[in-house]
Homo-oligomer: A and B are copies of this chain.
Amino acid sequence: MASAAVTVTRAFGMIDMACEPLILHGYWRSTASWRVRIALGLKGLEWEGKAHDLRAGDQRASDYLALNPQGFVPALEVGDDLLTQSLAIIEYLDELHPDPPLLPAEPLERAKVRAFAQVIACDIHPVQNLKVLKMLKKTGLDQAAIDAWAVQVIEQGLAACSELIAENSGPFCFGDKVTLADVLLVPQLGNARRFGARFDFGRITEIEAACAKLPAFAAARPENQPDADA
- Give residues in A with beta carbon < 8 Å to B: 1-3, 5-18, 20, 69-70, 78-81, 83-85, 87-89, 91-92, 95-96, 107-108, 110-112, 114-115, 118-119, 121-123, 125-127, 132, 135-136, 139, 141, 145, 149, 152, 160, 163-164
Contacts and interface: CB of A to CB of B under 8 A. Distances in A.
Contacts of A8: 10-12, 95
A128 to B, nearest CB: 10
A149 B135 CA distance: 8
A1 B80 contact: yes
A139 to B, nearest CB: 6
Contact of A5 (B16, B114, B136): B16
Contacts of A81: 1-2, 108
A108 B89 CA distance: 9
B17 A13 contact: no
A107 B96 contact: yes
Contact of A85 (B118, B139, B152): B118
Nearest to A89: B111
B95 A114 contact: no
A123 B110 CA distance: 23
B13 A5 contact: yes
B126 A114 contact: no
